[in-house]
Structure 1
Amino acid sequence: MRRPVVVGLDGSPESLAAADWAAREALRRGLPLRLLYAFEGLPAEASDLPELAAPRYWAGRVLRGTMDRLAETYPQVPLGAEQIARPAPEALLAAEAEVLVLGNRAFSGFAGLLADSVGLATVARAPGPVVLVPATYAQGPEAGSAYHPVVMGVDTAHPCDEVLEFAFDAAALRRAPLRTVHAWHPRHVPSGHASREDAERALDLALGPWREKYPNVDVHRIVDDGRAAQRLLHASADACLLVVGRRIRPARLGPHTGPVAHAVLHHARCPVAIVPHA
């Protein structure tokens, strides 16, 4: 049985935009959608304390309102909802989602940066893909078209099947072109002598098997000089989705998002998918 698309809610404009994005993604994938509201709780034996009445009431109100709206807009999507009295990152990481969707508060000012610590903590530890959606994207070019591609960053030194598969699949589901970006510069190459042509050949080699698997996806490749995050942000200015990888580190090193993923999460104007890989 395939897992559902799961979206974390907290009543913010960002999380409501994430719920709409998640519903469209569930519809595309033919999956159910699960709405999850987590709040700081107390032990089970203290569950009847009045201190929990307010967060329970607010969680229920947000879930009911969102369920009603999504059921009307996306009647084909099976919906479920749950409120959990535990820290949000813990609840989200235990959700067993095919895709986990969260609101991105990177553009909400100082308070938004504080609140976004939940999203960053979740992204850094999630075992599967996490998509962060800004509130400004509520009416964005989600359907995908020749003018709104899926954009993917590719590290040709360490091409990752998980990232490539997610991006090709996302483009195929949206019938959108896939714009692949590799940031290249001779000083970043150990020999110091590699040419742009070498970088282009390496990108073609990484993309080759996936082009064969997804022959209907129109692939555009960009090999450009500069920092990876800057090139990705520039390439995704008109995108419906930006896909980047996150390397899974050993437990002793602790969770992290990586510099490229961290930068695009804070500056990209479109939804960003962070895909973990070995």
Structure 2
Amino acid sequence: MPHHVTVGLDGSPESAAAAEWAAREALLRGVPLRLVHADEWPTSAAIPVAGPDAQRRWADELLAATAQQLQRGYPSLEISARRLSGRPAAALSIEAAEADLLVLGSRGLSGVMGFLLGSVGMETIVATERPVVLVRGTGQPSARTDAAPGGPSGGVVVGVDIHQSCDLLLDFAFDEAARRGGRLRAVYGWSIPPVVRDASALEAAERAMSQDVARRLTDILMPWRQKFPSVEVVERSPIGGPSHQLVREAAGAELVVVGRSIRRSPLGAHIGSVTHAVIHHCSSPVAVVAHD
């Protein structure tokens, strides 16, 4: 069984923030941290345009400097570093298979660097069945100590689909909430099909469906409440588009957990519209968990 946290580095502020987040996560789990960089990472302002030997030296220096910085902040954490060969998505997915989870930096839709749709981060997400956490850069220096975070936080938010099984998603979300003080907000956004035109009929339909939706959400969560009795769960089933509602509910969360189906279509793997929206519009760290 894998027992370490892996973080991918590309020299960007986002990957530095990801390394900090990964170090704290490794402390929470009581496992080592592994820093990795793939040789064929796309050239950007963070990666110098130079020959292969110079780029390898730069990568080794990046890994060593990041390891030293994290070791100063987290002296009890076991840290190792590894430079990977090959294309980043393929190399990272192989590395992720050996880890508890993989952590990457993300800019969402705020810039042209980092992990945007179709680039390294998105390709890696669909290439691995291990959980992948995307972390935004904060632009603020870290002031962490060697203790795992235990102060106030926004807890964990998980997006739930009441129409499909999501056991792996819920197990991950409840486990992360238990590690972070035991607060979890489970969210399912939904809408009335556009067939009811009369306002009074629409209101009546919403009232009737709201009760059924809330009951189904409660039923799905019940086994996990029993498995994780220390976790305080808040159930939310607001009316509105699932993507919009989940991004709204996730504001200020310490971690947002969303799923993607591991089933493949003839056109390849898909992460789903809700997960796509959360990755690109949520400022909190986002964990993408593959499930059946």
TM-score by length of 1: 0.89
The answer to whether the aligner puts 1:198 opposite 2:212 as a matched pair is yes
The structural deviation recorded for 1:146 is 5.6
Equivalent residues of 1:137, 1:270 under 8 A apart: no
Query: Letter of the aligned partner of 1:223 in structure 2?
Result: S
C-alpha spacing 1:156/1:205, structure 2 compared with 1 (3 Å): same
Query: Letter of the aligned partner of 1:204 in structure 2?
Result: T
The answer to whether the aligner puts 1:233 opposite 2:247 as a matched pair is yes
Tell me the SS of whatever aligns to 1:186: coil
Tell me the SS of whatever aligns to 2:237: strand
Number of the residue aligned with 1:246: 260
Equivalent residues of 1:125, 1:256 under 8 A apart: no
Measure, in 2, the Cα distance between the counterparts of 1:159 and 1:78. Answer: 36
Equivalent residues of 1:146, 1:176 under 8 A apart: no
The structural deviation recorded for 1:255 is 2.0
Number of the residue aligned with 1:7: 7
The answer to whether the aligner puts 1:258 opposite 2:264 as a matched pair is no
Equivalent residues of 2:187, 2:237 under 8 A apart: yes
Pairing 1:172-187 to 2, within 5 Å after superposition = 172-187=178-193
Pairing 1:72-91 to 2, within 5 Å after superposition = 72-91=72-91
Deviates more, 1:7-16 or 1:114-123: 114-123
C-alpha spacing 1:82/1:155, structure 2 compared with 1 (3 Å): same
The structural deviation recorded for 1:31 is 1.0
Measure, in 2, the Cα distance between the counterparts of 1:233 and 1:144. Answer: 25
Tell me the SS of whatever aligns to 2:225: helix
The structural deviation recorded for 1:253 is 3.8
C-alpha spacing 1:78/1:220, structure 2 compared with 1 (3 Å): same
Tell me the SS of whatever aligns to 2:193: helix
Tell me the SS of whatever aligns to 2:283: coil
Equivalent residues of 1:105, 1:116 under 8 A apart: no
C-alpha spacing 1:112/1:40, structure 2 compared with 1 (3 Å): closer
Query: Letter of the aligned partner of 2:179 in structure 1?
Result: L
Q: Deviations over 1:140-197 (max 9, x none)?
A: 99947665120000111113110000100000001141011011223299xx966101
Number of the residue aligned with 1:152: 158
Structure 2 unaligned blocks of 5 or more = 42-49, 196-201
Q: Deviations over 1:58-80 (max 9, x none)?
A: 10111011000111111222111
Which one has a larger percent helix, Structure 1 or Structure 2? 1
Equivalent residues of 2:155, 2:180 under 8 A apart: no
Number of the residue aligned with 1:130: 132
The structural deviation recorded for 1:112 is 4.3
Pairing 1:261-272 to 2, within 5 Å after superposition = 261-272=275-286
Query: Letter of the aligned partner of 1:117 in structure 2?
Result: S
Instruction: Report how many residues are paired.
Output: 268
Query: Letter of the aligned partner of 2:260 in structure 1?
Result: R
Query: Letter of the aligned partner of 2:239 in structure 1?
Result: D
The structural deviation recorded for 1:222 is 0.6
Number of the residue aligned with 1:67: 67
Measure, in 2, the Cα distance between the counterparts of 1:226 and 1:144. Answer: 34
Measure, in 2, the Cα distance between the counterparts of 1:144 and 1:238. Answer: 16
Equivalent residues of 1:143, 1:240 under 8 A apart: no
Measure, in 1, the Cα distance between the counterparts of 2:78 and 2:116. Answer: 33
Measure, in 2, the Cα distance between the counterparts of 1:204 and 1:115. Answer: 34
Q: Deviations over 1:93-113 (max 9, x none)?
A: 001221000001224423446
Structure 1 unaligned blocks of 5 or more = 42-49
- Find the partner of 2:232 among 212, 218, 227: 218
Measure, in 2, the Cα distance between the counterparts of 1:69 and 1:214. Answer: 35
Number of the residue aligned with 1:47: none
Number of the residue aligned with 1:110: 112
Equivalent residues of 1:104, 1:116 under 8 A apart: no
Measure, in 2, the Cα distance between the counterparts of 1:211 and 1:80. Answer: 36
TM-score by length of 2: 0.85
Tell me the SS of whatever aligns to 1:238: coil
Identity of counterpart residues, as a percentage?
A: 45
Measure, in 2, the Cα distance between the counterparts of 1:71 and 1:140. Answer: 13
